[in-house]
Amino acid sequence: MPDGSAGGTPPSQARREGWDRVLVALVSDEAWTMDLLRAACDPQDFEVRQLPRGPDAFERVVRMAASVIAVDVSGGDAAPFDLLRHLQAAPETRALPTLALAPTPDPLVRAAAVAVGAEDVAHRGANPEELQSRLRTLARLATSVRRDQENEAALQRLQVRLRERGRDLEEANRLLEHMRSSLQADQHTQRSRVEGLVQVAMELNKLQDFHVLMDRILKEARRLIHADAGTIYIREGKLLRFAYAQNDTLDRQMGDTPRFSSFLLPVGDGSIAGWVSASGEPVNLPDAYELDARAPYRFDRSFDQMTGYRTRSVLAMPLRTSMGRVVGVLQVINPLDGNGRPRQRFHDDDVTLLGHFASMATVAIERTQLTESIISRMLRMTETIDPDETGKHTEKVAGMSAILFEGWAQRRGLEGPAFERQRDRLRIAAKLHDVGKVGIDNRILKKPRGVPLTPEEFTEVKRHVIIGAGFFLDNPTEVDEVARDVALNHHERWDGSGYPGDVDVHGNPIPDPTTGLPRTGGKKGQEIPLFARIVGLADVVDALASPRCYKPAWEERRVLDEVRAHSGRHFDPELVEIFFERLDAIRELRRALAD
């Protein structure tokens, strides 16, 4: 891949006045474009990296995380204009300013580039000083928009926080003081752990999907106190669901182990987790195999016997709300030292730290459960209209979508909190993909088995994507934007044979920026938002593999053959590859969420 960089030496006067070095992504196969930007860009203020044109140009631009995107529109084809349109439409890049580079100052080229979203247009003969000034303006625009978005998001989170939980400031100060006093034994180490705890708490409150949150809570709890394995149990009435598990040792030995389970045990039944849930008290055991006979709980060795794992130290902490209600149990197993070697037991400061973490995590759990409750009400309303749109269906579509996105992100080296927030938004959007069916006549959706839809009825059913997208228009958050894109586009097909095609959220045709005429057919290829492509595949897989009023469930082999046959036609070929790479995880998910 060509890569031109303007270097990086001592800061210029502009940077001393608050100017940060700007990364410019140049999408071009032409040498003159790099020469033009090199002539215009002060290497102390700008870094230019060149990317080749091609079908993966958008994904490369996203990974580069540039502040300004320059696109070469020479060559006479529509590809660079499609890329500019995609950059303008995609949530990841719509706030980034784009500069179109043309070989000549053609007014028609300028008009076409501006029409698809380019903020500015320059040509081969542009004055370098003028072009540098325009690049500075675009960079400042990107910084301003990004800061506005961050400030708006922060304000919205604060408003939600205030509405949902009137947290008492004095209690927070008391908790912080208690944390400080209990962590004085090793000041340097404990300070780092507290700072990490606060940072994690902030990150947890950015997540809105319950499953993503639980996975993150378990991961961070283990990281904070260096535990090899762990489990989260979720309380459901008088039962605990063994819902989320992680085990580094087994992962190394056996590959990724299942993270979800549907195993249930009664609260207070004599198990460690059951007793912690019933009593609301933590348990810290040096060796689970050597319990005092008078202990009110026992350790079940069946998992160790099945896997060959040896559970020694166990620390189980109740997840208790501010009102004293226990919503689950956080259990970590087998502590490690800083070098990854086994420690004899969990120390008292581990118990204290995990207790504080559990308190903060429970706040995030309560907030997320409120979001889940609202989503569940919407889905129950949809279920009354369409008997196939069950809660289990939406959970399986959301779970499969998350697994597919993890594979897509892993291929591109995407990880960390930003990836988790994207996965979080995808799961929520996937659950709501068919919410627009509430606006469709239920006599159509509930037609008897074997009675086909008329062309008019099918046209009516297809309106659910427009209706669903319309639910997420007012005061949109980032979650709303993703949910709108998924609701509108999850029936588009890779080959362009899907629906609704190039229309806005009201169903009105969007004219082609080059011809001015409405485009026919559906969106195709990467014109379809990534999350909509993912949900579209997951939705079809679950629909085929599950019984419906009009058909029995297909056998797995038939479902897999169908997915293979429609790779590159209905489905994104790369997502089909990822689907088969992660088939074991998808099977495990479907077993855990079996009807």
Between CA 578 and CA 403 the distance in angstroms is 9
Angle between helices 57-64 and 79-89 (to 10 degrees): 40
> What is the residue type of 281?
E
DSSP state of 347: -
Same domain, yes or no: 494 and 568: yes
Q: Are residues 304 and 426 in the same domain?
A: no
C-alpha distances out from residue 188 to 24, 180, 356, 406, Å:
40, 12, 18, 35
* 432 and 519 in a common domain: yes
Residue that finishes a domain, picked among 340, 368, 396: 368
Q: How far apart are CA 93 and CA 69, in angstroms?
A: 9
**Do residues 328 and 369 touch, judged by C-beta distance below 8 A?**
no
Does any domain span residue 20? yes
| Residue 3: inside a domain | no
CB contact at 8 A, 143 and 154 = no
Which residues, other chains included, contact 293 with Cβ-Cβ below 8 Å and sequence gap of 6+? Answer: none
Phi, psi torsion values for 540, nearest 5 degrees:
-65, -45
**Token pair of 14 as six digits:** 């502009």
- CA dihedral (84, 89, 92, 95) positive or negative: positive
Residue 117 inside a domain? The answer is yes
Last residue of a domain, one of 118, 148, 178: 148
The reported pLDDT for the residue numbered 9 is 38
CATH number at residue 513: 1.10.3210.10
Q: What's residue 550's pLDDT? A: 67
* 333 and 283 assigned to the same domain: yes
Q: Are residues 294 and 201 in the same domain?
A: yes
Q: Are residues 19 and 124 in the same domain?
A: yes
Same domain membership, residue 243 and residue 214: yes
User: Are both 313 and 268 inside the same structural domain?
Assistant: yes
CA atoms of 591 and 585, how far apart (whole Å):
10
Same domain, 564 and 494: yes
Do 189 and 110 lie in a common domain? no
Question: Does residue 409 form part of some domain?
Answer: yes
Q: What is the pLDDT of residue 563?
A: 96
Is residue 377 included in any domain, yes or no? Answer: no
Q: What is the pLDDT of residue 583?
A: 94
The H or E element containing residue 78 is none
Neighbouring-strand partners of residue 239: 236, 266
* CATH code, domain with 256: 3.30.450.40
Number of domains in the chain: 3
Report yes or no on 236 lying in a domain.
Answer: yes
Which are the contacts of 43, defined by CB distance < 8 A and separation ≥ 6? 6, 7, 8, 9
| Domain stops at, among 302, 336, 368 | 368
Q: Per the domain annotation, does 84 fall within a domain?
A: yes
231 shares a domain with 360: yes
Instruction: Round to whole Å and give the CA distance between 9 and 24.
Output: 17
Q: Which residues of the chain carry a pLDDT beneath 70? A: 1-20, 148-151, 153-155, 157-210, 255-268, 366-377, 379-391, 449-450, 475-476, 549-550, 595
- Kindly state whether residue 455 falls inside one of the protein's structural domains: yes
| Residues 462 and 568 placed together within one structural domain of the fold | yes
The domain in which residue 190 lies consists of 169-368
Q: So what's the pLDDT on residue 19? A: 46
Q: How far apart are CA 329 and CA 280, in angstroms?
A: 9
